[in-house]
Chains A and B, each alone.
Chain A
Amino acid sequence: MILSGFITKLILLYAMASKKELFNLFYGESKDKLYRLCLGFTGNTADADDLFQEVLIKIWQNLESFRKESKLSTWAYRVATNTAMLFLKRRTQLYDRQTTLDTTVQQTPVAPGPEAAVQKEEQISKLYQAIATLKEIDRIIISLLFEKCSYQEIASITGLSPTNVGARINRIKNSLSKKLV
């Protein structure tokens, strides 16, 4: 019994060592969080899709270094936010002449129903657009906070001190509140 448990553990460890398996595990756990982060960073689904794809490529390329890390999500957020900072400039260059209509968050189609549901979709869309207008670091901080990261985690991802993160969150909250009125 003990031996079979040990063998199962060995098999699992071997499976985990495979890049593909590790990626699938990561993908299942973090895809939604990372996509929201991409959407908050870009403010529109077309760019978010591209950024999300690029983030996944970078995660794949950096998977070996993850093995040394203790927390999967912190590691993934670092890779994602650093990728986003390089990505944004390229998109900005490509879409310099883009009209304002294209920079909106594409709303998920809502079936005709209660007015409240439609209103809620609009509010969500407004929130993501408002976040996308913040400065890059502020976008990262607020997205991480909304993904339930602690101040300590946000500090470790951004390289700021936890006190600084707290001060910035307060400022971002005020800025978002004004934008969402």
Chain B
Amino acid sequence: MDRKLKEMQAMWQAQNVEVPDATILVKQLQKIDRRAKVERYIMLFTAPLTTLFLLWLLPVLESMYSLVAVVLIGSGMYMVLQQADKAKPGNLAKKLDFSNRSFIESQIGKLRQLILIASKYMWFYTGMLIAGINLGYIDALADYSMETRVTVHVSLSVTILFFMYFSIKKRLQKYGREIVPLIDRLESVRAQLANV
């Protein structure tokens, strides 16, 4: 190292550092760990519990429609919950011990995947949920007139569609504000790594 760099290094090292005591910090970090564990358990049990509830509620052994409905709703819900978990900011960058280059590559891929999930796959899950719920209502509405049945099915489908449309739109707007600029920044760092 030449003289100029050594001088700068000495100045760098001379910077006064005042960092907090680790005891309080460790307590806070352990609290974060516990919270994350609880969240994981909630995620793990929500979909199976709801599926069990639907199995108990609907006559799955007597009607094929009900059985298919439970399967569709259960899998659709599980997929949505899984994607929601992936979308959490804390879960995005959990593995950080790669080189900067590998980390940037993986982050750009993950972030793009998130946008793709919201813009494309969420509609697929919406379709599954609508189909499942409508199938579940076929037997329940069997005794009613055709007009009533059609009205209930259409109203249900439109309500779910609207709800999903607005939540997908909201999520995409959020990604536009937070994720798209982050991808741009990471792309620029990637370019810095490429240029000598």
Contacts and interface: CB of A to CB of B under 8 A. Distances in A.
Interface of A: 20, 23-24, 27-28, 31-32, 35-36, 39-40, 52, 56-58, 60-62, 65-66, 69, 75, 78-79, 81-83, 85-86, 88-89, 93, 108, 120, 123-124, 127-128, 135-138, 140, 143, 145-148, 156-160, 164, 167-169, 173, 176-177, 180
Contact of A173 (B4, B94, B97): B4
Most B CB contacts (10 A, CB to CB) among A35, A61, A69, A128 go to A61
Interface of B: 1-2, 4-5, 8-9, 11-17, 19, 22, 25-26, 29-30, 32-33, 93-104, 107, 181-182, 185-186, 189, 192-193, 196
Nearest to A110: B16
B100 A127 contact: no
A56 B17 contact: no
Contacts of A147: 12
B187 to A, nearest CB: 12
Given A27-B25, A124-B15, 11 more contacts: A24-B26, A36-B17, A56-B29, A82-B93, A82-B100, A85-B185, A88-B185, A120-B11, A124-B12, A146-B8, A147-B12
B29 A62 contact: no
B89 to A, nearest CB: 9
A75 B97 CA distance: 6
Contacts of B102: 159
12 contacts: A31-B17, A35-B17, A78-B103, A83-B93, A108-B16, A127-B8, A137-B189, A140-B100, A146-B13, A158-B99, A158-B101, A160-B193
5 A-B pairs with the lowest CB-CB distances in the bound complex, closest first: A159-B101, A159-B99, A146-B12, A108-B16, A82-B103
A74 to B, nearest CB: 9
A124 B30 contact: no
Given A36-B12, A146-B9, A173-B2, A157 B189 contact: no
A158 B95 CA distance: 15
B181 A89 contact: yes
Contacts of B32: 57, 60
Contact of A123 (B5, B11, B93): B11
Contacts of B185: 85, 88-89
A82 B22 CA distance: 22
Contact of A23 (B11, B26, B182): B26
Nearest to A69: B97
